[in-house]
A = this chain, B = another copy of it.
Amino acid sequence: MDPAAFRRHGHELVDWIADYLEHPERYPVLSRNTPGDIVRALPPQAPEDPETFGAILADLERVLVPGLTHWNHPGFFAYFAITASAPGILAEFLTAALNQQAMLWRTSPATTELEEVALGWLRQLMGLPDTFEGVIYDTASVATLHALSAARESGIPGARTTGLAGRDLPRYRVYCSEQAHSSVDKAVIAIGLGHESLRRVPTDDVFRLVPAALTRAIAEDRAAGVVPLSVVATIGTTSTSSVDPLPAIADICQREGMWLHVDAAYGGAAALLPTHRHILEGVAHADSLVVNPHKWLFTPLDLSAFYCRRMDVLRAAFALMPDYLATPEAGHARNLMDSGIPLGRRFRALKLWMVMRTFGASGLRAHIARHIELAQTFAGWVDARSDFTRVAPVPFSVVCFRWEPARLLDGLTEAERRRASDTLNSTLLDAVNRSGEVFLSHTKLNDRFVIRLAIGHERTTLKHVARAWTLLQEEAERIAARSGSRS
């Protein structure tokens, strides 16, 4: 495809994407495909001869679009709702065309320095001290892997050089709450500490890590000869968006000499609001923090911002300079490859920079505040209905609730009631998601099935949230009617 054809097809594609963004609601949010549909619809071999852009676009519409779950749909309320905003999409288009590979400063001064600028802007917007140096990774999972690698480097002598096996070392422990993300599990596995090195500390009745329980766990471990290495505190847990008490955890980490990593992948964005700045109180004593602009800052996947107060430790863990990458700038310019495992590095900063400029700080704050307000509104509707129960506070834009229809559950034993109620909620969730208008997800809290509504898309309005609530009520009535007629 020569540049002239690129120009022609590029214009076609802009119109296709603009139509898509204008009318996201023409597609069901959750794909109705069944596993294997796409594999069966496409040839098993690459074509020998070139195909036209028209043929590819036709297959996109015929085969791939039905297999999309529309994360860019305003009725997407599952997991954490995210947004590929228009400036972010345009930035990614540029990123692909420029094809920068910023392993070294000299291989892309623009990527290297815009990463510093964009992460500096975000740091200020969040109120993070400028003692935190930033670097971009793809995902929070990889950021947390690097945080715990730095904790290992800091806490285990000779970790980089000699490793962990075949040495006279004790066991080590990493702590997080029962509600922390599975990426912490994967990180301790990856870096060789083993899954058992992760100790999940109990949470209180609103799903926040209990500092006294952490203190007890550390004391127990020390008594057993296990060395505490790190705590991962979460600002906005995945299930309920609960906020761990950072000041108390930071005190414990300082006292115990442990690396404190803050997983603010979702919640960190709320720190842009003066009303929510307090969620990061105590962060000045943290060693590292991750926040994902691809979650709640309107940036297309993937862009995870990792901030570290001791980036020298991370560099000590990973920096190395093979002959073929030595450059004259090594002494006085930052080479991003020194900050971790991946050598190849896209121009990810561009999209964050373009998003921050296009929205402005005021625009980012307005959207985040609006999402929080919508969640409060939805929570109010849940609270006003006697047959629905909200099961967690709503510090941000996630609402966790259950349908508890007394008429269907009264008179059952406790065990029957739990089982019946879980089935009802799961059935309700499936029914609502089958509508194609909204997509909600679920979690388990206290071993009970819980429906989650997460608000985070730029174009989600009161109308979409109200529609979700209407569908929940209508489907609940329908299920109740069916259950009633059977019983």
Q: Are A442 and B46 in contact (CB under 8 A)?
A: no
B69 touches A106 (CB 8 A): yes
- With a cutoff of 8 Å between Cβ atoms, the chain B residues found around residue A301 in the complex are 99-101, 344-346
Q: Which of A10-18, A388-396, A471-479 contacts B (4 or more CB under 8 A)?
A: A10-18
In the complex, whether A134 has a CB less than 8 A from a CB of chain B is no
Complex interface: chain B residues within 8 A of A78 (CB):
107
Interface locus among A163-171, A247-255, A378-386, A462-470 = A163-171
A325 to B183, CA, bound (A): 12
Which residues of chain B are near A361, meaning CB under 8 Å? 46-48
Pick from B47, B109, B142, B441: contact of A342, CB below 8 A.
B142
**With the chains together, A20 CA to B93 CA distance in Å?**
13
Please report which residues of chain A, range 406-420, place their CB below 8 angstroms from some CB of chain B when the two chains form the complex: none
Min distance, Cβ A214 to any Cβ of chain B, angstroms: 21
Known interface pairs A109-B33, A159-B194; A360-B51 also in contact (CB < 8 Å): yes
Q: Is the CB of B185 within 8 A of A320?
A: yes
**Which of the candidate stretches A34-42, A204-212, A368-376 sits at the interface with the other chain?**
A34-42
Tell me if A7 and B18 are in contact (CB < 8 A): yes
The verdict on A317 contacting chain B, using a C-beta distance below 8 Å, is yes
Closest CB in chain B relative to A62 CB, distance in Å: 12
For A183, give the chain B residue with the smallest CB separation.
Answer: B343
- Give the total of A residues in contact with B, Cβ under 8 Å: 166
Q: Beyond A141-B341, A192-B191, A358-B56, is A318–B186 a contact (Cβ under 8 Å)? A: yes
- Kindly name the residue among A99, A125, A138, A159 whose own CB sees the greatest number of chain B CB atoms within 10 A: A99
Which of the residues B13, B44, B105, B160 comes within 8 Å of A93, measured between beta carbons? B13
Nearest B residue to A447 via CB reads: B323
Check if B67 sits within 8 Å of A113, measured CB to CB: yes
Is A21 located at the chain interface by the 8 A CB criterion?
yes
> Which of B20, B98, B162 interacts with A97 by CB under 8 Å?
B20
A362 located at the interface, meaning its Cβ lies under 8 Å from any Cβ of chain B in the complex: yes
User: Which segment, of A83-91, A256-264, A276-284, A305-313, faces chain B?
Assistant: A83-91
Known: A161-B196, A182-B322. 8 other contacts (CB 8 A): A38-B117, A99-B300, A160-B189, A165-B171, A182-B320, A182-B343, A301-B345, A324-B452
Q: List 21 A-B contacts (CB under 8 A).
A: A11-B11, A33-B110, A35-B332, A35-B334, A45-B121, A46-B125, A51-B358, A53-B87, A56-B357, A79-B107, A82-B101, A84-B98, A84-B99, A88-B96, A89-B97, A92-B96, A93-B96, A96-B351, A156-B165, A238-B324, A324-B443
